[in-house]
Amino acid sequence: MRLPLCCAAVVVALVIAGCGSDSGSRTSTSAQQTTTGSSTTRAPAQRVLHYITREAKPRNPGPHPGARVDQLVVREVRRGVGPPIRVGDKGIFEFIATDWVTGRPLEESWHRRRPFETQIEHGVVIDGWWQGIPGMRVGGRRQIIVPPSLGFTTNPLLQKATTYFDVVLVQITPATPPGLAAPSSSG
């Protein structure tokens, strides 16, 4: 009974959101822009209050007692679309992190207000991500097993842990090459 009622509520909300005249949308667009002389400025973007992912949360792989992983293992589950993320780019990710040997959940981004956002750069993320994430495309999914030497080496609780990540790339923000940076307006 609950599922049909929830589906009906979602359909009604979508219908209401889709209703409205085309002229109203032009008015709201023009209301967001103000023109001063020859320059046009935009109103600040709306703040995201809650993020909903369409991606189902992956299952915990369970324990692998006695497993020994000495090198990074990367398994491409789904390729994704668009250009790949590169070292230096920022990415928005959904992920779960699990201790590979014990199966104990460590961290996850699902069911949070916002997904995990970080720059893929040496010294910013663990080496397992710095080496295992580049090449992913938006909508792509990877399973990465990170040996202790490429994992959380500065965390005394996780220094010797082999970590399993199931990662989905949601969005890429490319790094701006140094020669293409916007000129600063000084006086």
List 125's β-bridge partners, or say none. Answer: 122
Q: Which of 44-58, 71-85, 167-181 has the highest mean pLDDT?
A: 71-85
CA distance 80 to 95: 15
CA distance 144 to 121: 17
Work out the burial of residue 70: count CB atoms within 10 Å of its CB; fewer than 13 is exposed, 13-18 middle, 19 or more buried: exposed
* pLDDT tens track for 113-172: 788 999 999 999 999 999 999 999 999 999 999 999 999 999 999 999 999 999 999 999
Which pTM value belongs to this model? 0.67
pLDDT of residue 113: 76
CA distance 141 to 170: 9
- List the chain domain ranges: 73-173
**Gyration radius of the chain's alpha carbons:** 22
* pLDDT tens track for 2-59: 545 444 555 444 444 444 444 443 433 333 343 444 445 554 554 443 445 577 888 9
Considering Cα of 111, then 46, then 176, then 80, what sign does the dihedral take? positive
CA distance 44 to 57: 32
Work out the burial of residue 78: count CB atoms within 10 Å of its CB; fewer than 13 is exposed, 13-18 middle, 19 or more buried: middle
Q: CATH topology for 73-173?
A: Chitinase A; domain 3 (3.10.50)
